[in-house]
Amino acid sequence: MHSDTTDTLTTTEHAPINWTNMILFTVTPALAITLVPAYGWLVGYDAFEWIMFVLLMGVSGMSITAGYHRLWSHKTYEAHPAIRFLFALGGAFALQNDVLNWASDHRRHHQYVDDNDNDPYSAGRGFWFSHIGWIVRTYPSARNDFSNVKDLQRDPIVMWQHRHYLALVLLTNIGLPALIGYLHGDVIAGLLLGGLLRLVLSQHFTYFINSLAHMWGRRPYSDKSTARDNTLLALITYGEGYHNYHHTFQWDYRNGIRWWHFDPTKWLIHTLSRLGLASGLKRCDPDKIECAKLERQYQLAADRCEKLQIEGDWQDRLEQEYQALLHTVQLWAEHRHAWYEAKGKQLQELSHLELLQIKAHYLEMRLKLKLQKKRWQEVLRSVASPQQQLA
């Protein structure tokens, strides 16, 4: 009788080839590697053509990140029909399947992350499988099952794109770059840069999130999955590289939560909301983020204590500081909520003195949290350097 592992390997080895995808993902990179530089050497590309290439990369890429991913797969915000229509067109331009199939696969990925039998692109099967191998063969884990996207089946734009996907793919991937090239005076350059090279790069940049972002980077929020934060990947995926955060707080419309985090998709969604074209932007409560980070830091420090056989005062100090900091985070969250609630009330409901008192309590607790976090970092450094003695 075969083990489950043997059954999985056998299924993987004998999964039938998806010839449409196999040809697509073999021919397009080969043509991009040969034809694009050859034409550049023989004829050359001008600044306008490179600018259009960059812009079209952004259109297709962010239609996936802001549309397919954060809007339709995770429902992190709501968008005006005109924006949803543009994202549907841009998604066909990216040629990564229609919304319905893409979102269904992605929701299953989150539900069964790292489960080799059910995660459509589980990183547990290796880089090649999670990057593109799952697309070029028909695996049971990537079954067509729309039971998890019934909400999207009620979206007329999603279903319109689903019915007309092939026509939209041809119109956007061939018709659009050819038209731009024709208007500029070089159809071939338009097709090679805006069509072929853009298509290959945008596809593989997205697939790096399925593969590299589950293998390379940090896990500051949770170790419950292989998802990792990687700033370098964020630079080429419009902010999707903060993947450990995303898997921990998947309903947040942001992936990069700090203002300095490179997350153009977050900036686009925020801009759309300011223009009245997006609403209901969901954000994870800051205290939940803090608690997740603290729990992860505590776990790593405790594991190090156990590994180095550090006992006694070290472990006691670590536990005491951790519990005290969690309590302070809770109090800070309560005072923060009270302050933001007070600011939103009409002036006649609270006196000026009451507002000042609420604000003062919040600022006091924020300062206390800041100081306590500094002390916590000192404890973590002490655990990291056991030759130093605790103060």
Q: Where are the domains of the chain?
A: 4-279, 286-384
Amino acid letter, residue 237:
T
How does residue 5 score in pLDDT terms, banded at 50, 70 and 90? Answer: very low
Distance of alpha carbon 247 from alpha carbon 269, whole angstroms: 19
Q: What is the DSSP string of 171-205?
A: IIIIIHHHHHHHHHT-HHHIIIIIIIIHHHHHHHH
Residue 243 to residue 160: CA distance in whole angstroms: 30
DSSP 8-class letter at 72: I
pLDDT for residue 385: 67
More confident residue, 229 or 369: 229
> Which residue reads 């729990």 in tokens?
295
In Å, how far are 87, 172, 232 from 70, measured between CA atoms? 11, 22, 20
Please name the amino acid found at residue 25. F
Strand pairing partners for 242? 229
In this prediction, residue 391 carries a pLDDT of: 36
Distance between terminal CA atoms of the chain? 60
* Burial class (CB within 10 angstroms; exposed 0-12, middle 13-18, buried 19+) of 327: exposed
pLDDT grade, residue 38 (50/70/90)? Answer: very high
Residue 3: pLDDT above 70? no
Classify each residue of 130-154 as buried b or exposed e, where b means 16 or more C-beta atoms within 10 Å of its C-beta. Answer: bbbbbbbbebebbeeeeeebeebee
Q: Do 100 and 149 contact (CB within 8 A), yes or no?
A: yes
Interval 73-86 mean pLDDT: 97
For residue 338, give Cα distances in angstroms to 269, 328, 330, 357, 363: 27, 15, 13, 11, 12
CB atoms within 10 A of CB 269: 25
Return the pLDDT at 310: 63
- Fill in the DSSP letter of residue 270: H
Least-confidence region, from 12-16, 26-30, 163-167, 220-224: 12-16
Among 15-19, 125-129, 250-254, 266-270, which stretch is predicted with the lowest mean pLDDT? 15-19
Which residues, at least 6 apart from 112, have a Cβ–Cβ distance to it below 8 Å? 118, 119, 122
